[in-house]
């Protein structure tokens, strides 16, 4: 199965699950409050499958899997006979209507907790955030951070693994400082350091949040031994073989793979004298890197070899696994962290601390769905939780076309003692739809530019 088809199928499955959960929240609370639900649809357009339950609700699975809706009896939309007015949405109290609208996002939050609860019971292999090296003249270096320290908190928020530290660091974009809690892995001494991030430049498209601060985490390292040689490559023509160890290029000793890769990248179509160790002997080979244009538009040299990598450093990898009750707490905590980050990022978009070029649309989501589904169940569950929280948060934004906009109008109704006029609501819906379409257009353009 091609990657594009796999991504599309994974996207449809993920979106179908999340939309069903969201709309079921509206549906369930509407019924509990005595509202007649006329239709529960997953998708738009032509109905592929439909059935009706004993209470008269028509359930539909439609052809376009990009959304869904719950259509309730409402006197503002449908003619309603006097004897059925008590079943209409608009005849319920403001608090009942608010509960029905809020139930969609609430269902997504609950779903995230349940998914993460299951994930933590199955067990998640993760990494301890142990600092292996610090880049010279970086933000971390100026803060006095040294290697062999484990990050244990960010701005007083406890962090037990690389994923949680990553989320907490991203949340601080646009601030002036970050307080890191560190633990020396030799002496176990705990202390805090303050990072000055006023000049922090972080581009998630090209770097990790850790490398942008100058932090290199403990992980397997690329060795100077060759693991594979691409067929028909410059390396194969030069006679390089698997298990060859790169010793020198010309008179320069090769200390690590990054050094070797940098020399090759800077020498397109230039003959390089490579000294390699093979079967206990030293051989000199002449290799000419091919000229290749990188994604950023710059040309570079490529030989067509990949390195062997070292084993994981001891104590870095571990499995987060909890019992049934402890996993609930872990799921709630993780969901709250994702929620806080989502609201923080929206705020930073409004203030300009985060650029709109980092918005992601359906193509990026599909790629994420496909990638995590390929890794396995645990990764896919984590992805579902993340997108479910994002869906809930976005729906709570006070745009009239979203659940948050409806809640805003109902809150005004509570304050004013009467509903907002239909004309005002209609203007608001048009304005909200325009903003949403613009944001979706920007996100889609960003997706296309990343292809």
Predicted pLDDT at 26: 94
Predicted pLDDT at 203: 79
DSSP H or E segment with residue 335: helix 324-351
* Angstrom distance (rounded) from CA 140 to CA 215: 7
Predicted pLDDT at 103: 95
Residue 260's SS3 state is: helix
Predicted pLDDT at 3: 67
Q: Which residue has the tokens 């994002």?
A: 390
Measuring CA to CA, how many Å separate 367 from each of 153, 187, 360, 362, 447? Answer: 31, 43, 11, 9, 10
Is 337 in contact with 164 (CB distance < 8 Å)?
yes
Measuring CA to CA, how many Å separate 226 from each of 13, 229, 232, 384? Answer: 40, 7, 16, 38
* Angstrom distance (rounded) from CA 36 to CA 362: 33
Long-range contacts of range 89-94, CB-CB < 8 Å, 24 or more positions apart? 89/30, 89/35, 92/33, 92/34, 92/35, 94/410, 94/413, 94/414
Q: Tens of pLDDT along 341-359? A: 888 888 888 777 777 666 6
Name the more confident of 193 and 429: 193
Closest by Cα among 255, 278, 140 to 200: 140
For residue 124 the two structure tokens come to 């998640």
The catalytically annotated residue of 23, 75, 269, 311 is 23
State in words which class domain 222-309 has: mainly beta
Q: How far apart are the first and last CA of the chain?
A: 19
Active-site residue 75, yes or no? no
Q: Which residue has the tokens 């609430």?
A: 106
Predicted pLDDT at 322: 92
Q: Which residue has the tokens 């729906």?
A: 395
Is 335 in contact with 342 (CB distance < 8 Å)?
no
Residue 87's SS3 state is: helix
Mean pLDDT confidence for 112-122: 94
Question: 115: buried, middle or exposed (CB in 10 Å: 19+, 13-18, 0-12)?
Answer: buried
Radius of gyration of the chain, Cα coordinates, nearest whole angstrom: 28
**Average pLDDT of every residue of the chain:** 87
Q: Tens of pLDDT along 209-231? A: 899 999 999 989 899 999 999 99
Asked whether residue 29 carries a pLDDT value surpassing 80, the answer given is yes
Q: Give bridge partners of residue 285 from the DSSP assignment.
A: 274
CA atoms within 13 A on the CB side of 95: 0
* Angstrom distance (rounded) from CA 247 to CA 254: 5
Mean pLDDT confidence for 127-149: 91
Predicted pLDDT at 2: 60
Asked whether residue 67 carries a pLDDT value surpassing 90, the answer given is no
The beta strand positions in 117-189, using DSSP E, are 124-127, 130-134, 149-154, 157-158, 177-184
Closest by Cα among 17, 14, 22 to 366: 14
374 phi, psi to nearest 5 deg: -70, -35
Predicted pLDDT at 294: 65
Mean pLDDT confidence for 264-284: 90
Domain boundaries, the chain: 106-121+322-451, 124-219+311-320, 222-309
* Angstrom distance (rounded) from CA 288 to CA 448: 34
Asked whether residue 333 carries a pLDDT value surpassing 80, the answer given is yes
Asked whether residue 287 carries a pLDDT value surpassing 80, the answer given is yes
DSSP H or E segment with residue 116: helix 94-122
Predicted pLDDT at 181: 93
Mean pLDDT confidence for 225-240: 92
> Could you count the other beta carbons within 10 Å of the beta carbon of residue 392?
27
* Angstrom distance (rounded) from CA 137 to CA 142: 6
CATH, range 124-219+311-320: 2.30.42.10
CA atoms within 13 A on the CB side of 4: 1
For residue 65 the two structure tokens come to 């899997």
> Could you count the other beta carbons within 10 Å of the beta carbon of residue 308?
17
Mean pLDDT confidence for 430-438: 83
* Angstrom distance (rounded) from CA 448 to CA 451: 5
Q: Give bridge partners of residue 273 from the DSSP assignment.
A: 286
Which of 39-43, 106-110, 426-430 bottoms out in mean pLDDT, i.e. has the lowest?
426-430
Predicted pLDDT at 296: 58
* Angstrom distance (rounded) from CA 134 to CA 304: 29
How many residues can be counted in the chain?
A: 451
Q: How confident is the model at residue 329 (pLDDT cuts 50, 70, 90)?
A: very high
Q: Tens of pLDDT along 367-404? A: 677 777 777 788 888 889 989 999 999 999 888 888 99
Q: Tens of pLDDT along 188-205? A: 999 999 999 988 888 777
The beta strand positions in 385-427, using DSSP E, are none
Q: Give bridge partners of residue 149 from the DSSP assignment.
A: 131, 184
For residue 384 the two structure tokens come to 């579902």
């Amino acid at each position: 199965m091609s990657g594009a088809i796999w991504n599309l199928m994974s996207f449809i499955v993920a979106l179908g699950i999340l939309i069903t959960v969201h709309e079921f929240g509206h549906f369930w609370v509407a019924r509990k409050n005595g509202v007649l639900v006329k239709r529960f649809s997953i998708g738009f357009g032509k109905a592929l499958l439909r059935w009706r339950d004993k209470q008269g609700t028509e359930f539909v699975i439609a052809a376009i899997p990009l959304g869904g809706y719950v259509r309730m009896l409402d006197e503002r939309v449908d003619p309603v006979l006097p004897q059925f007015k008590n079943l209409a949405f608009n005849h319920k109290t403001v608090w009942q209507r608010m509960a029905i609208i809020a139930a969609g996002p609430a269902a997504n939050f609950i779903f995230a907790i349940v998914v993460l609860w299951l994930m933590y019971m199955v067990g998640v292999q993760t990494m301890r955030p142990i600092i292996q090296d610090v880049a010279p003249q970086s933000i971390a270096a100026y803060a006095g951070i040294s290697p062999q320290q484990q990050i244990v908190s960010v701005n007083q928020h406890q962090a037990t693994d690389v994923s949680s530290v990553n989320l907490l660091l991203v949340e601080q974009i646009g601030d002036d400082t970050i307080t890191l809690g560190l633990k020396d892995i030799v002496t176990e001494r705990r202390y805090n350091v303050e990072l000055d991030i006023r000049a922090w430049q972080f581009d998630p498209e090209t770097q990790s949040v850790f490398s942008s601060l100058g932090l290199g985490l403990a992980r397997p390292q690329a060795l100077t031994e060759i693991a594979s040689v691409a067929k028909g490559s410059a390396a194969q023509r030069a006679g390089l073989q698997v298990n060859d160890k790169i010793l020198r290029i010309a008179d320069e000793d090769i200390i690590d793979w990054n050094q070797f890769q940098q020399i090759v990248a800077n020498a397109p179509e230039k003959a390089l004298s490579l000294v390699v160790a093979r079967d206990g002997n030293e051989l000199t080979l002449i290799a000419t890197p091919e000229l290749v244009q990188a994604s950023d538009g710059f040309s570079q040299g490529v030989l067509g070899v990949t390195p062997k990598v070292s084993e994981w450093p001891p104590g870095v990898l571990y499995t987060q696994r909890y019992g049934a009750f402890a996993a609930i707490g872990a799921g709630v905590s993780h969901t709250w962290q994702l929620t806080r980050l989502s609201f923080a990022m929206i705020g930073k978009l409004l203030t300009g601390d985060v650029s709109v070029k980092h918005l992601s649309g359906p193509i990026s989501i599909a790629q994420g769905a496909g990638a995590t589904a390929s890794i396995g169940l645990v990764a896919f569950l984590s992805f579902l939780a993340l997108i479910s929280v994002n869906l809930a948060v976005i729906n709570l934004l006070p745009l009239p076309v979203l659940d948050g906009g409806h809640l805003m109008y109902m809150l005004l109704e509570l304050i004013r003692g009467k509903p907002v006029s239909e004309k005002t609501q209609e203007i608001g819906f048009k304005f909200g739809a325009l903003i949403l379409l613009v944001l979706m257009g920007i996100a889609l353009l960003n997706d296309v530019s990343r292809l």
